[in-house]
């Protein structure tokens, strides 16, 4: 089974529509269409529509940063997954900024994951512990609870198609974090797959894509992408600069070439 490496740029509440359009046109020139890499952009809701009209869909896919879990109705100020489903392939759910600043709890995140799947959008579920939980040695318990809850309405097949990102709060620029070390990422990625395998089955655990996010930049991306089982990165600040983001995509490309070369050598 060939899984494409996933590089997601989370622009958060940054970039005007004009700036977003400029960034996309620069990226388009810099990023060649590598078939084994999937590049996903997550603009704020207002920029989704114009960016969707601008992108070459063979080169970029779009993700929503958030949506409401009801499909339609009297919910002033909200946008639903139903309304987004012909614009985006993915939606980021459970990001720690939403958990912390908007009080999204486990139930809300579970409902958003279900609504996302119901509307044929692939969830990019972010999980991870706070720095306090990390210092207390509670990381695995937190990951377990977040995964069990968020996936509880899904079938094994639906879980197999989704993306889970290990993005602990203590690594995110917003929370003045430090980047995780590759061996810390390896142990979390393995743990996430083990949880999915125990809750569902080995097939779901194998098919699911697991990523790392948190202070990823053009210098560190390669070291995370070389972690066995880590199939991509979620990038915040460094995705706002087209040269830095393109360099991250390029390191994914180089890593895939290295792997293909060493596989070919092994077969000789
Ligand atoms: P960062 O953000 O790369 O700026 O740390 C990552 C994220 O919040 O998705």
Alpha-helical runs (H) found in the chain: 17-30, 45-54, 81-84, 96-101, 106-118, 131-135, 139-150, 156-160, 182-199, 202-207, 221-225, 242-267
Rounded distance from Cα 172 to ligand 1 centre (Å): 5
| Integer angstrom CA distances of residue 101 from 49, 57, 94, 97, 109 | 25, 32, 12, 6, 14
CA separation for the pair 167, 173 (Å, rounded) = 11
Per-residue pLDDT at 1: 64
Atom in ligand 1 nearest the alpha carbon of residue 234:
9
Rounded distance from Cα 237 to ligand 1 centre (Å): 6
Q: What is the block-wise mean pLDDT of the chain (268 residues), using blocks of 10 residues?
A: 90 98 94 85 97 91 98 98 97 97 98 98 97 95 98 97 96 89 97 98 97 97 97 98 97 89 80
pTM over 0.85: yes
* Domain spans of the chain, in order of start: 5-267
Nearest CA to ligand 1 atom 6: 236
Is 3.20.20.70 the CATH number for 5-267? yes
CA separation for the pair 246, 63 (Å, rounded) = 18
Per-residue pLDDT at 57: 84
Main-chain phi, psi angles of 160, to 5 degrees: -60, -30
pLDDT tens digit string along 226-261? 999 999 999 999 999 999 999 999 999 999 888 888
Per-residue pLDDT at 82: 98
CA separation for the pair 88, 98 (Å, rounded) = 19
What are the pocket residues of ligand 1 if the criterion is a CB atom closer than 6 Å to any ligand atom? 10, 167, 172-173, 213-216, 234-237
Atom in ligand 1 nearest the alpha carbon of residue 217:
3
Closest CA to 207 of 157, 144, 155: 157
Per-residue pLDDT at 56: 85
Per-residue pLDDT at 35: 77
What letter would DSSP give residue 44? -
Atom in ligand 1 nearest the alpha carbon of residue 172:
5
- Identify which of 7, 215, 217 to mutate to test ligand 1's pocket (most ligand atoms within 8 A of the CB): 215
- Helix (H/G/I), strand (E/B), else coil: 17: helix
Per-residue pLDDT at 267: 79
């Amino acid at each position: 089974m060939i899984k494409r490496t996933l590089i997601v740029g989370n622009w958060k509440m940054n970039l005007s529509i004009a700036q977003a359009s400029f960034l996309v046109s620069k990226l388009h020139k810099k990023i060649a269409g590598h078939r084994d890499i999937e590049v996903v952009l997550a603009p704020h809701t207002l920029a989704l529509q114009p960016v969707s009209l601008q992108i070459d869909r063979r080169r970029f896919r779009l993700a929503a940063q958030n949506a409401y879990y009801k499909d339609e109705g009297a919910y002033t100020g909200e946008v639903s997954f139903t309304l987004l489903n012909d614009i985006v392939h993915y939606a980021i759910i459970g990001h720690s900024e939403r958990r912390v600043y908007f009080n999204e709890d486990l139930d809300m995140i579970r409902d958003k994951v279900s609504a996302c799947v119901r509307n044929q959008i692939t969830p990019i579920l972010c999980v991870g512990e706070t720095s306090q939980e990390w210092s207390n040695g509670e990381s695995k318990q937190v990951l377990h609870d977040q995964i069990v809850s968020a996936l509880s309405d899904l079938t094994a097949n639906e879980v197999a198609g989704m993306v889970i990102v290990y993005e602990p709060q203590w690594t995110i620029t917003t929370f003045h974090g430090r980047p995780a070390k590759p061996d810390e990422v390896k142990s979390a990625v393995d743990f996430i797959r083990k949880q999915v395998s125990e809750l569902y089955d080995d097939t779901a655990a194998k098919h699911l894509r697991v990523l790392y996010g948190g202070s990823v930049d053009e210098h560190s991306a390669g070291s995370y992408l070389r972690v066995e089982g880590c199939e991509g990165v979620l990038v915040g600040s460094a995705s706002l600069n087209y040269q830095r983001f393109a360099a991250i995509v390029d390191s994914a490309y180089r890593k895939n070439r290295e792997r293909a070369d060493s596989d070919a050598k092994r077969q000789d």
